[in-house]
Amino acid sequence: MVEMRKPLRRSRSNRMVAGVVGGLAEYWSLDPTLARVIFVVVSILSAAFPGLLVYAILWLIIPEGE
C-alpha cells in the first residue's frame, strides 16, 4: 500500500526567517528546533555544504504553506 505524504511546503507557523527549515521539519515529522540545530551544525562543519546558499535556493523553490 502506498502512503500519501503531504507536499513539502515552507512553514507559516514554524518560521524564523522564511520557514524553510520549519517546513522541512514538518515534512519529516521532526522537532523544528532540532532541525534548525542540525542545519546550522552541518552548515558550519561542512565546507562542501554552503548553508546560506542552499537555504536561499530552497526559499525560492519551495512554495509557502497554506
Is pLDDT of 2 > 90? no
Which pLDDT belongs to residue 60? 94
Query: Domain coordinates of the chain in residue numbers?
Result: 20-61
Dihedral over Cα of 64, 9, 23, 54: its sign: negative
Which pLDDT belongs to residue 25? 92
Per-residue model confidence as pLDDT tens digits over 6-38: 888 888 888 888 889 999 999 999 999 999 999
Which pLDDT belongs to residue 48? 66
Rounded to 10°, the helix 32-45/20-27 angle is 120
